[in-house]
Amino acid sequence: MNIVHFHNGFGGGVLTVIRNLLQYRQHPEWKQQVIYTLDKKKFSAFSPMLPEDVKQKTFYYSGNWNFYYTAKKLSKLLPAKDTILIAHDWLELAMISNRGLNYPVVQFLHGDYDYYYKLAQRNEAWVDSFICVSASIADELKRRIPERSNDIQYLRFPVPEVNGIREDSSTPELVFAGRCDEAKGYHLLPLIDAALQQKNVQAHWHIAGPGSELSQVQQQWKQSKVHFYGNLPPKELTALLLKATAFILPSMAEGMPVSVVEAMKAGAIPVVNDINGGLQELVTNDVTGYRIPNNDPLIFAECIAAITADAEKRKQLSAAAVSFANTYFDPVQNTKLFEDCFLQASRKSKKKKAFKTTGSRLDQPYLPNLLVKTIRSLF
| pLDDT mean over 312-337 | 97
Confidence check: pLDDT of 288 > 90: yes
Q: Are 137 and 154 in contact (CB under 8 A)?
A: yes
- The yes-or-no verdict on residue 372 having pLDDT over 90 is yes
User: Is it the case that residue 223 has pLDDT exceeding 90?
Assistant: no
DSSP 313-370: HHHHHHHHHHHHHHHH--HHHHHHHHHHHHHHHHHH---------S--TT--TTS-HH
Q: Which of 127, 126, 117 is nearest to 253 (CA)?
A: 117
> Hey, where are the domains in the chain?
2-158+332-377, 173-328
- C-alpha 282/C-alpha 262 separation (Å) is 11
Contact status, residue 35 vs residue 4, Cβ threshold 8 Å:
yes
What are the residues facing 4 on neighbouring strands? 33, 85
Instruction: Write the CA distances from 93 to 8, 58, 75, 120, 123, integer angstroms.
Output: 12, 17, 11, 9, 7
CA distance 60 to 130: 27
pLDDT over 90 (residue 299): yes
CA angle, 260 then 169 then 203, to 5°: 70
Whether 52 shows a pLDDT value over 90: the answer reads: no
Distance CA 337, CA 288 (A): 25
Mean pLDDT for the stretch of residues 101-111: 95
Tell me the CA distances in angstroms from 168 to 95, 241, 304, 310, one per residue in order: 50, 11, 14, 12
**Euclidean distance between CA atoms 29 and 311, whole angstroms:** 49
Fold held by 173-328 = Rossmann fold (3.40.50)
Continuous segment of H or E residues that includes residue 247: strand 246-249
Q: Cα–Cα distance between 147 and 296 in angstroms, integer?
A: 40
Report the CATH number of the 2-158+332-377 domain: 3.40.50.2000
Residue 135: the pLDDT is 94
Residue 97 has pLDDT above 80, yes or no: yes
Max alpha carbon distance in the chain (Å)?
A: 70
Cβ-Cβ contacts under 8 Å for 341 (sequence gap 6 or more): 106, 129, 131, 153, 155
Task: With beta carbons less than 8 A apart as the criterion, state whether 307 and 314 touch.
Answer: yes
Contact 8, 108 (CB under 8 A): no
How far apart CA 240 and CA 231 sit, in angstroms, is 12
| pLDDT bracket for residue 43 (50, 70, 90) | confident
| Contact assessment for residue 205 and residue 247, using Cβ atoms and an 8 Å cutoff | no
Give the separation between CA 24 and CA 353, rounded to whole angstroms: 35
* pLDDT tier for residue 220 given thresholds of 50, 70 and 90: confident
Q: Would you say 33 and 2 are in contact if contact means Cβ atoms under 8 Å apart?
A: yes
Average pLDDT, the chain: 93
For residues 46 and 9, the answer to whether their CB atoms sit within 8 Å is yes
Inter-residue contact 158 to 137 (CB < 8 Å): no
> Rounded to a whole number, what is the distance in angstroms from the first to the last CA of the chain?
44
- Ranges 26-30, 146-150, 253-257: which has the least confidence: 253-257
pLDDT of residue 81: 86
pTM: 0.90
173-328 shares the fold of 2-158+332-377: yes
pLDDT at 12 > cutoff 80? no
CA 96 to chain CA centroid, nearest Å: 22
Mean pLDDT of 313-325: 97
**Three-state secondary structure readout of 91-108:** HHHHHHHHHCCCCCEEEE
Task: Kindly state the DSSP code that residue 152 receives in the 8-state scheme.
Answer: E
Q: What pLDDT sits at residue 10? A: 82
Nearest to 237 by CA among 311, 162, 293: 162
